[in-house]
Every structure is written in structure tokens, then in C-alpha cells.
Structure 1
Amino acid sequence: MSQRELVRFDLIQKNTIQNDSLSFQIYPNPLKDNRLYIISTGSGEKHIEIFNVFGEKVVEAFTNEESLQLDGLTPGIYLFQLHQDGQKGLERLVVP
């Protein structure tokens, strides 16, 4: 006897999913050479969280740098969440 699971997902057409006041960009997207650059209008420390498609947090980092080394991510689509200066934003990140 086999088990079946129903999985629902929404197709995202744009890189920007949701931004709660924080304006930022990540590049290159798709990721290249495991180095991601983060350009933000904020000035404080960046709190970065990256989630896989199952909602599991796979990366958490605190940095003042404008780039982040992302070794070990398997190919797929991720959600990149940035918290800075009491605001947050969300972007889609593609790892080829």
C-alpha cells in the first residue's frame, strides 16, 4: 500500500515576493560561484535567513558585509529574508 501526499505550490513570476518596507537587491540571481551580493538601503547589521521550499531554515547569518559566501546549498529555489534596521524584505534565490 502506498501513501500519497498533496503538495500545493504557487508559481512565482518575479524575483521580488514581498517586501515589508526594506528595499534591497541580491545578485547574481541565479547564484554563481557561491557568492551572493546584497545591496540594501539600510545601514545596520544584516540578519539573513535562507529557507528551502519546505520552509526549513538552511542558512542564518549576521553580517555588516555586502556579500555572503553560500557554500553547500543544493540546487533549487530558496527564500532569502533580510532583516535590517527593524524592517524586513523577502526575495527568491535560485541556486543552479
Structure 2
Amino acid sequence: MREIYTLLLIFGLISSLPQMAYSQLANTNNTVSSINNTEGTIDGLYIYPNPVSNGRIYITTKKKLTKEIEIYDVLGKKIVSTQIFDKSLDVSEFSPGVYILKIKEGDASATRKLVIR
């Protein structure tokens, strides 16, 4: 009986994680914003491979400018904040799971789900 209760509790927590992550991102720096931001989206944004299995992702855009990258875990905790000048980002140290990838290039930004196997 105790194992069933534990499994139900874990399942309930896991099912509420995406909502918690959204609320964490939406309230960053005490300002309310939306994941679908009011700034322009990044033209030609392409992130591959996703899901990641080789420890490296590639982020390409039409403008090919420096990109500010933030990666959050499913609880909304910022794991990485960096800039990339080329198109590749090393994620080999990350545990397998689902992450939220926030990319800013110039005045445009985008948020995507990143899966690491």
C-alpha cells in the first residue's frame, strides 16, 4: 500500500512539473511575462538534434548573430546561462531529461523544449 501511495505521489508531482516550470519562467525577475514573448521571434531558428543523444546541440538562424542561451530544468531553475558565437553548444554534462531552452538573438527571442537522452 505504501508503494502505491508513493507512486501516486510521484506521478502527481511529475504531471504538475510543466505548469511549475512555466510559472517560474513567467515570473523571472519579478516581472510578469509570457513564454510567447512580445519581442519578435528568431527568423529561421533551427535546433538539432532534438532529442539530443550525442551531447551536443546545434542552433542555427538566418542572421547568424551571437546568441544568448539560458537552459532551465523542468522546475524552472536556471542551469546554464551562456553566449554562443558559432552554432554548437555542449550539453554532455546534463542528465537525461526535459529542459527549457531560451534563446535570444538581437531583439528577437524564442523558447523551446530540449530533450536529452
The normalised TM-score by structure 1 is 0.77
Amino acid at match of 1:66: K
Structure richer in helix, relative to its length:
2
> More relative contact order in 1 or in 2 (CA 8 Å, sep 6+)?
1
CA–CA distance in structure 2, aligned partners of residues 59 and 71 of structure 1:
13
Q: Does 1:48 align with 2:69?
A: yes
Q: Does 1:93 align with 2:117?
A: no
- 1:2-81 equivalences under 5 Å are 7=13, 8=16, 9=18, 18=36, 20-23=40-43, 24-81=45-102
For residue 94 of structure 1, report the CA deviation from its aligned partner: 0.4
Structure richer in strand, relative to its length:
1
**Structure 1 gaps, min length 5:** 11-16
The count of corresponding residues between Structure 1 and Structure 2 is 87
Amino acid at match of 2:105: Q
CA RMSD in angstroms, aligned pairs only: 2.3
**Structure 2 gaps, min length 5:** 1-8, 20-34
Identity between Structure 1 and Structure 2 (%): 29
Larger Rg over CA atoms: 2
Runs (4+) off by over 3 Å: 17-20
CA–CA distance in structure 1, aligned partners of residues 36 and 61 of structure 2:
15
The normalised TM-score by structure 2 is 0.64
